[in-house]
Amino acid sequence: MRADMHDADGSWLQQVRAQFPIITAHPELAYLDSAATSQKPQAVLDAVQTYLTTTNANAGRGTYPWANRTTELIERARERVKEFLGDLAPERSTVHFTSGTTEGLRTVARDWLVEHLTDGDEILVPFADHRANLEPWLEARRLLAERGTEVRIRALPYQEVSGDYDHRALAEAVGPRTRFVAATHVHHVYGGDMNVHRIRAAVGPDVPICLDAAQSVGHLPVRVGDPALDVDFVVFSGHKALALPGSGAVWARNTRGSALKPAGWQGTPNTVGVVSLLAALDWLDAVGVNLVTAHVTRLATRLTDRLRRLDAYEILGCPASLTADTALPTAQRRHGIVTFRHREVPSDDLGFILFSHGFMVRADSLCQAGADEKDGSVRVSLHVYNTAEEIDRLLTVLASLE
């Protein structure tokens, strides 16, 4: 599949969609929960099958050909992650494989951050993003407190309506003892780009930034060589980027503070997961991440533009993103995630109703920090295998519930 196959008649989408066996096997169902986990293309499944039937061995622990080949695959995958992220200084950076974003963020918190803070330091963290990007920093504070070191956690400020970071208020949250910032690239509820470049501008050139990229890597271009993405850690999950569950990575720039070196004895890596991630990144590059982004953005625009006309629904997130008006250059910043509530039907009930019509969506509090059951909502999250026809069918069902 080549990136230049994209055309207006839909053949590009047909060819891409045909590469997902679970999707083609169930044409009566619409999988709209890719923010939770993505489906896997045949190329990833083939890579895993080939590895397990020809090369399977432990990495870094043997000298026979299978073990050597496995070790080579793991190291190749490290370099592939750097390449995929547009790393301009790969000789300095490192990649540590994890089970996913949650473990990756905890690795940064426990094995790096606690060694870089002293009494009275402050860190800025998100209190309304995914809980995985809050709990590790609270854990780091507890670990430091056990050592007798007191650090202050300050909340990143938010805009009340849109859910975006309030970058104007951010300047007031930054102080002379600010030593670290944890941020999210694309919000898992609102789907918005959180404008990390504005965080860098507010904190200055010396403060490390850790980026939760669970909803961006594999969905849109993430280029750490771009000055607008001057972050020190990029943490992501392979299973949200077309690879297998239990795979993920931490990319570390290693220019502000010491290099990331995960503590303790490093046991057997998830070799199958790493192989699947390598294959997924290759597949995404072959298809064209820019084309994936453009396709998913069009679908999200189609959904938000029509859903906002249904009075029974409240769409969460930035109101400016609810229009398909191309004359507005800042419109539609939702990267494949649209979250909403029915004004009368509870979200969990709405989730069951939608499944009865063949739609698989997420319907709960979405692991959002600070949220509870009363804050439930329905999230539609899209990927390259979704179609406009699925969106139109979904809208027809939603309209019938007004």
Q: What is the pLDDT of residues 265-286, one digit of tens each?
A: 888 999 999 999 999 999 999 9
Q: Which residues are registered as beta bridge partners of 252?
A: 94, 233
Determine whether 95 is exposed, middle or buried from the number of CB atoms within 10 Å of its CB (0-12, 13-18, 19+).
buried
Cα atoms found within 13 Å of the Cα of residue 381, Cβ hemisphere only: 26
Is residue 4 pLDDT above 50, yes or no?
A: no
Share of residues in the chain with pLDDT > 70 (%):
94
Q: Decide the pairing of beta strands 178-184 and 209-212.
A: parallel
- DSSP conformation class of 193: B
Token pair for 395: 């809208």
Alpha helices in 96-195 (DSSP H): 101-111, 135-146, 167-173
Neighbours of 243 (CB within 10 A): 31
Q: Which residue has the tokens 């956690």?
A: 153
More confident residue, 323 or 398: 398
Amino acid at 256: R
Token pair for 45: 């499944």
Quote the longest CA-to-CA distance of the chain: 66
Q: What share of the chain is helix, strand, coil (3-state, %, to 5)?
A: 40, 15, 45
- 93 Cβ neighbours under 8 A, 6+ residues apart: 82, 87, 251, 252, 253, 254
Is residue 327 pLDDT above 60, yes or no?
A: no
Is residue 388 pLDDT above 60, yes or no?
A: yes
Is residue 5 pLDDT above 50, yes or no?
A: no
Is residue 8 pLDDT above 70, yes or no?
A: no
- 349 Cβ neighbours under 8 A, 6+ residues apart: none
State mean pLDDT over 371-398. 93
- For residue 16, the model assigns a pLDDT of 97
State mean pLDDT over 240-264. 96
Is residue 302 pLDDT above 50, yes or no?
A: yes
CA distance 131 to 198: 22
More confident residue, 11 or 328: 11
CA distance 344 to 341: 8
Token pair for 73: 């695959």
State mean pLDDT over 219-228. 96
CB environment 110-133: b (16+ within 10 A), e (fewer): bbbbbeebeeebbbbbbbbbbbbb
- For residue 333, the model assigns a pLDDT of 61
Helix axes 289-307, 271-287, angle to 10 degrees: 80
| Digit-coded pLDDT (tens) for 10-38 | 799 999 999 999 999 999 999 999 999 99
Alpha carbon separation from 262 to 94, 115, 176, 358 (Å, rounded): 11, 12, 28, 44
Is residue 184 pLDDT above 60, yes or no?
A: yes
For the chain, the distance separating the N- and C-terminal CA atoms, rounded to the nearest angstrom, is 41
Nearest CA among 284, 323, 316, 319 for reference residue 300: 323
Token pair for 310: 């249904």
State mean pLDDT over 366-373. 81
Token pair for 159: 């805009």
